[in-house]
A = this chain, B = another copy of it.
């Protein structure tokens, strides 16, 4: 028996409210995770404010970007007890035809915390143990330094659960290679990581964002040119990027464009950058429509690939790169107390926050809730 304290959404358009859940005996395939950190994602804001529906009926504890410790486990996963883990944001069944054919992120039986089940804006979360990714070298202190990356702790690794891994799979799926050009549209959480992952592969990376602070931050993690798409757009933007490609020795064709803004304006900019053989990765989400000349995909022999989540099998290599400091995470994540969730969500919504916020269920929270 355990008591979970967290914050649930009771109705879209409402606010999160303190909630408790009493946990009985775990199912054989489930584990109880003590949350070390849970990242805040724009998907959460979508549920909260924009009428995006959770797959599980409300009320539901939100939060799908979790790192933590396995505190208890059902019979199938006893070996995980006391392990520090990152929880993939999409937990597939591993058994169905889609899982077996390499499409686990669209498994119909998938569990996404904070969408299909109670999530990580809480002290604990109960989830299937099958695809949890153990963190090599992590001890019992969630605030202890980890790996070779300065300032990195288990709490920061929460952002690997979704923001880093989604960016990673998007770049992986695009087939981006060293020496090629990548353009990242939207330098928020996922976008900044996408830029880092692209740079880590040896690509020449251009970043686009309307926020000067984000552009400046991106220049420190591998973005070579950061532009404001409100100041330079359309053909001029394209010409500017083509000039950068020439200077960097990158080809004039086959650009990889990573749309991470999840805004109609960002999608328009991204689509407008198609060149012959280009790959547009659609990573950000918006319910809004955009007006596009779809036939440009044909005329340029180009492609637009959606990316939902990240296959669990990619997490170990992502974690390895993060722990080695090849993908920088700590400086892009900001730890805030879970008890301040209402304030944090308002900040994130207003886009005041330059870094990905990770909510930490400190002792104080447990008393407040």
Contacts and interface: CB of A to CB of B under 8 A. Distances in A.
A106 B307 contact: no
B303 A306 contact: yes
A305 B294 contact: no
A138 interface: no
Contact of A253 (B106, B277, B289, B296): B106
Contacts of A262: 295
A300 B97 contact: no
A301 B259 CA distance: 14
Nearest to A309: B301
A314 to B, nearest CB: 14
A262 B106 CA distance: 30
Interface string A334-354: 000000000000000000000
A308 B295 CA distance: 10
Interface stretch (A69-77, A124-132, A278-286): A278-286
B304 A106 contact: no
A290 B292 contact: yes
B304 A308 contact: no
A293 interface: yes
A299 B306 contact: yes
A298 B277 contact: no
A173 B307 CA distance: 19
A288 interface: yes
Please state the number of chain copies in the assembly: 2
Given A105-B301, A308-B301, A284 B295 contact: yes
B294 A291 contact: no
Contacts of A294: 259, 267, 271, 282, 289-290, 292, 304
B306 A300 contact: yes
Contact of A299 (B253, B299, B301, B308): B308
Contacts of A276: 98, 106, 108
A297 B305 contact: yes
Contacts of A290: 291-294
A105 to B, nearest CB: 6
A78 B18 CA distance: 83
16 contacts: A103-B253, A103-B277, A262-B295, A282-B294, A282-B297, A284-B295, A285-B299, A289-B291, A289-B292, A289-B293, A290-B292, A290-B294, A292-B292, A298-B306, A300-B306, A301-B306
Interface of A: 97-98, 103, 105-106, 108, 251, 253-254, 259, 262, 267, 271, 276-277, 282-309
Q: 9 tightest A-B contacts by CB?
A: A297-B306, A301-B308, A298-B306, A106-B276, A282-B297, A303-B305, A304-B304, A285-B295, A282-B298
